[in-house]
Chain A
């Protein structure tokens, strides 16, 4: 019995749930149909069940208190992550020297994952026209504020799990929204801002951005 409890404890440690949550009946389960042979039920507790396969448990205690993992173990958290983005494109309109142009979209995030979530944004390049040479894209904002009359482009968030308090350049991958607990329809507004300067070139500028949502590890 002690060995089984020890193996159960180790199996729970494999899964990236907090130990306290798992021991209190965290929500994960086995995809039983992935096993070719399901043998004795090792242990049950709360919202989880562990099975062995083909006679070998998923973990074996070796000498010196070390452990060895055996193949065939599969566990999944009983949770989902959901992202809704409305609208699905941004229209900044015709840019002018006199004002900053902006457009917003709202992220709706729902997840039961106890570690919460993170949404990042990345772009396929600068906001650009044509192939986007050095003079054919809008410069990224550097001072925290997109200003009329100065060629600048950036994004800012508000509400919900927003993480960008000031106008921020869309370079590399940015974390724009997150939380450390499960959420239900947490809404974050993402605003894209653009301004042109006296030397900005005329043309149709465009860009593709990707919002990525996952639970936190």
Chain B
């Protein structure tokens, strides 16, 4: 009996030791995204709810960083230069959480009196320090904060490029490029469509400009490439029309481009017809001269 107890005890110790070594770092924060409008000269208290999801007590540190949006992947990347980071402070630099416990970290943002109206993009982070090990792992979870300084809003997008890769396509597809830039003071969600028509006015394809509903923050560029597929009945001049809209008032930008779709086999047919026509003209001219010579 004693032997069984000791064996069980050592198995328990071994399990506990392994479990401890393999413990997880688990952290939740909410809300995932939030937004606020603050008057110049005023302050706002922003709360971040933090939960310890693991089986051990943890110490969590709060921090603030600015973010930008990668123009290719549309994901946020942090550590970007953002003046609003200096406006914020974390009231409690570190908080302790028991297993399963939830607490709030309070962030206070004070907007300078001379701050210009506009949008600022911030992340409020809660971080657990790295564990011991050859490669120690630190866990950081954040909430995105869209902070606006109160005042007039300027919504402005500019189409930098709406073009095709070539003026003439001989194969069955073409690419249309669209590049825009947000020149306003607030982010926008571009919408609209591109309609591609053949020379008879028939619709070849219609594209939704922004089906994923990506947002474009100020000073960022946003671009897309659209692949158009042709059929033989589209041979000839192709027209593409851009109807680009954005903002609360749905401001619209219209652009049109044209290019040609003439596949090589069609070129061959046209050249062949031309050659046959010229042969016919030359023959007619030759026989006409022979006939005149014969009469004379």
The DSSP consensus for interface residues of chain B is strand
- For A85, the chain B residues whose CB sits under 8 A away are 24-26, 137, 139
- For B49, the chain A residues whose CB sits under 8 A away are 80
- For B33, the chain A residues whose CB sits under 8 A away are 15-17, 76-77, 79, 113, 115, 215, 217
Q: Determine whether the beta carbon of B136 is less than 8 Å from that of A217.
A: no
Q: Determine whether the beta carbon of A16 is less than 8 Å from that of B146.
A: yes
Q: Determine whether the beta carbon of A68 is less than 8 Å from that of B138.
A: no
- For A19, the chain B residues whose CB sits under 8 A away are 189, 213
Does B293 belong to the interface (CB within 8 Å)? no
- For A86, the chain B residues whose CB sits under 8 A away are 22-25
Q: Determine whether the beta carbon of B74 is less than 8 Å from that of A14.
A: no
Q: Determine whether the beta carbon of B136 is less than 8 Å from that of A82.
A: no
A213-B140, A217-B33, A217-B76 given; A82·B27 CB < 8 A: yes
A18 (CB) vs chain B CBs: closest residue: B213
Q: Determine whether the beta carbon of A91 is less than 8 Å from that of B187.
A: no
Q: Determine whether the beta carbon of A82 is less than 8 Å from that of B53.
A: yes
Does A81 belong to the interface (CB within 8 Å)? yes
Which residues of A3-18 have CB atoms within 8 Å of chain B's CB atoms?
A: 9-10, 13-18
Q: Determine whether the beta carbon of B31 is less than 8 Å from that of A77.
A: yes
Considering only CB atoms and an 8 Å cut-off, how many residues of chain B contact the other chain? 74
CA distance A81 to B249 in the complex (A): 33
CA distance A212 to B77 in the complex (A): 10
Interface string of A169-212 (1 = CB under 8 A from B): 00001010010100000000000100000000000011111111
Q: Determine whether the beta carbon of A83 is less than 8 Å from that of B37.
A: no
- For B51, the chain A residues whose CB sits under 8 A away are 82
Shortest CB-to-CB span from A146 to chain B, Å, is 14
Choose among A14, A213, A215 the residue that contacts B35 (Cβ–Cβ < 8 A). Answer: A14
- For B37, the chain A residues whose CB sits under 8 A away are 14, 58, 69-74
- For B137, the chain A residues whose CB sits under 8 A away are 85, 87-90, 105, 208-211
CA distance A62 to B155 in the complex (A): 14
Choose among B125, B136, B248 the residue that contacts A9 (Cβ–Cβ < 8 A). Answer: B248
Does B34 belong to the interface (CB within 8 Å)? yes
A210 (CB) vs chain B CBs: closest residue: B138
Does A127 belong to the interface (CB within 8 Å)? yes
CA distance A45 to B214 in the complex (A): 24
Choose among A13, A15, A192, A216 the residue that contacts B74 (Cβ–Cβ < 8 A). Answer: A216
Q: Determine whether the beta carbon of A89 is less than 8 Å from that of B136.
A: yes
- For A34, the chain B residues whose CB sits under 8 A away are 44-45
Q: Determine whether the beta carbon of A216 is less than 8 Å from that of B75.
A: yes
Does A66 belong to the interface (CB within 8 Å)? yes
Q: Determine whether the beta carbon of B212 is less than 8 Å from that of A83.
A: no
Closest CB pairs A-B (n = 3): A89-B133, A71-B39, A80-B30
With contacts A118-B75, A209-B130, A217-B76 known, what are 8 further pairs, Cβ within 8 A? A19-B213, A67-B153, A74-B46, A80-B49, A82-B26, A84-B26, A206-B134, A217-B67
B residues adjacent to A (C-beta < 8 A) = 21-39, 42, 44-47, 49, 51, 53-54, 67, 69, 73-79, 117, 121, 123, 125, 127, 130-144, 146, 148, 150-154, 186-187, 189, 212-213, 215, 217, 247-249
